[in-house]
Amino acid sequence: MRYLCLALSALLLAPNLSGAVMSRPEFVGSVVNASDLANPTATAMPIAVNGSAPTFIKSDAAPAIQKGSAGQFVNVECDGTSAVCAGGRVRPGLVADPRDFGGTCGASDSTKAIQDAVNSLTRGGIVIVPCPMTIAGEVSLSGSVALEGIGPIFYPGMSDIPGPSIWPPTAGPAINCSGTVAGGVAMCVQLAGIGNEVKNINFGNPQPAPSSTTWTPTTYPPVIGTVYNSGWQGAKIHDVTCTACTWFMDFEGTPDYSTWSANQITVENIWCNPCLNIGVKLRRIDNPFYGQHWDFVPIYYLNEASMGAYLRAHSIGLEIDYAAAPQFNALNFFANKASIHVANDTVMNSFGVITMAGSAIQMTNVMSNQSCQAVTTDSNNTVVEFKSIQNLYVWGDQSGFHCSKGKNMIDLPSNAVRINASGVGVTYVDTFANVGCGTPGKGGCPSGAPGGGAVAHFDNVEVDNYSAYTAGSVFMKAPVGTDLSLGTTNTALINGYSGAGGLMGAGTDGTQAFWSRAVLMQTNSSGQVILNPGTLPTSCSGLAAGTIYSPSAHNLSVC
């Protein structure tokens, strides 16, 4: 009995939740009085909130959560590393917003703010581009830093047809690169570290509106670039566009591979709208380099004749100045001076000192449309190997400019050229290809040119309308010593305009190579095997004794 009294006394004197001694039990037969319940009135804070009300919280109630602000945060401890709090926003420590560093959307220069955002990511991370911003100077990306646009990449006015696109835009993730060459700017965004990434951003240069007559655009440096010997290595650029850009991308490697080499590069899903002078340049780049889905079909002021004239006089889609085994897929060139241009450069690596334009270049699904030329070089010394081009379509300039007139669509007048292409379609050109230099010091082949012979192998070729602009144009030109082949091509499918020249013509040194035996014969519409016209010389002039020639249709003679 004594123990029961003590227990009752303890219960009667037990403190309630507020710390006060209750005068009676709060629970009677497991029933709580309504006056003992209440809704919460306090708000969760960074520090504990001690209450004083002698009531319980209702079972379906919840306290208010403090909204984040510059001075008050909940559920996040802003330590400046794992989480950063600035400008009324909470963000992960590996993500930087230029607006937190004084950057603004629009035409005001945000160069310093974007650079400060990059510099804040000492352990690497992402600098976001949340809106159209302006870089009037240069921004350098340190190692493991990505520049990433937030939001849909297409903006209002981007694809107006016909007529101009809008630049700079008023919405979407965009960077207006306004620093000029004359102003001393080397590039807009520099890839300066190891493992940089740029994605989901519309880039562009502000230009005067093209007129209906002539147009002189402002010259800008590369939008995205590198500095040789800077130690940059590896880059991934994807889902980016460039409107009215003088020069979109410049990848500069090192001439000395004993220090490092520029490789591990991927560039995919890009659009030049347009790239006025150069789209993408590779210089001293080693493998692997991967390029995929490049679109050079512009919309920006394409309805103005001055824009079309400028592109055909200046624009190079892809410039290759030493690239080892690069791989490309789905390249769509349009209205260029040359879709692809190659030139020699020199590096020193484990093989010694090497001078070349490119080796083991691999391409699939390439379209050169309405361009003046498809593949060119300016030197008779160019060393280049197109190891494989599969599904190549070359369509000459059928616009009112007719800039393909009198030109060789593939113009590689060097003995050190190797080109292998299959699945080739050709239309509205004068001459499809000019390959090889010939004998150094003879005709147009300079004495300093390398000797030997070029290799040009084309397979499964279909041609509509060669000699389309100039009567008498031949399908191909190559000098004696060039290794030529049309593989399994049915030459009946190589068709010229009325008045077209033969399939072969003289090369750079004035001599003429001839096709392999497989090309000498073709099947006519009646199923008869006949001599293929245009594959043999028509006289013995300049030919060695014993050479076969065709003095008239379907007749053979020996010199």
The tens digit of pLDDT for each residue in 2-44 reads: 433 434 344 434 444 444 444 444 444 556 677 777 777 777 6
pLDDT over 60 (residue 169) = yes
Residue 147 has pLDDT above 70, yes or no: yes
Is residue 436 classed exposed, middle or buried when 0-12, 13-18 and 19+ CB atoms within 10 A define those classes? buried
- For the record, the structure tokens of 319 come out as 């410039």
- For the chain, give percent helix, strand, coil, nearest 5: 10, 40, 55
**Residue 518 pLDDT more than 90?**
no
* Window from 61-75, 119-133, 251-265 with minimum mean pLDDT: 61-75
Residues pairing with 201 in the sheet: 240
Q: What pLDDT sits at residue 262?
A: 82
Closest listed residue to residue 169, CA positions, set 96, 230, 244, 117? 244
- Over its C-alpha atoms, the chain yields an Rg (Å, rounded) of 35
Q: CB-based contacts of 191: which residues, under 8 Å, 6+ apart? A: 141, 198, 224, 225, 226, 232, 235
Residue type present at position 71: G
Q: Is the pLDDT of residue 392 over 90?
A: yes
Express each pLDDT in 426-462 by its tens digit: 999 999 999 999 999 999 999 999 988 999 999 999 9
Predicted pLDDT of residue 239: 96
Confidence of residue 158 (pLDDT cuts 50, 70, 90): confident
Confidence class for position 62, pLDDT limits 50, 70, 90: confident
* Whether 471 contacts 497, CB under 8 Å: yes
**In the Cβ-directed half-sphere of 198, how many Cα atoms lie within 13 Å?**
31
% of the chain exceeding 70 in pLDDT: 81
Strands 352-356 and 345-349, bridge-based pairing: antiparallel
Six-digit token string for 355: 């001078």
Across 226-243, average pLDDT: 91
Residues 249-307: pLDDT tens digits? Answer: 999 998 988 777 788 999 999 999 999 999 999 999 988 999 999 999 999 998 899 99
pLDDT at 75: 52
**Lowest mean pLDDT across 320-334, 411-425, 514-528:** 514-528
Q: How confident is the model at residue 152, as a pLDDT?
A: 87
- pTM (2 decimals)? 0.81
One-letter identity of residue 242: C
Continuous segment of H or E residues that includes residue 132 = strand 132-135
Residue 379 has pLDDT above 80, yes or no: yes
Residue 90 has pLDDT above 70, yes or no: no
Contact 442, 436 (CB under 8 A): no
| pLDDT band per the 50, 70, 90 thresholds, residue 546 | low
* SS3 letters across 426-449: EECCCEEEEECCCCCCCCCCCCCC
- pLDDT category at 365 given cuts 50, 70, 90 is very high
Q: Which residue has the higher pLDDT, 349 or 83?
A: 349
pLDDT, position 363: 98
Q: What is the pLDDT of residue 84?
A: 59
Residue pLDDT, tens place only, 316-346: 999 999 999 999 999 999 999 999 999 999 9
pLDDT, tens digit, for every residue of 496-514? 999 999 889 999 999 998 7
What pLDDT does 25 receive?
Answer: 45
Q: What is the mean pLDDT of the chain?
A: 85
Residues constituting the chain: 559
Please spell the DSSP secondary structure of 343-373, one letter per residue. --EEEEETTEEEEESEES-EEEEEEEES-SE
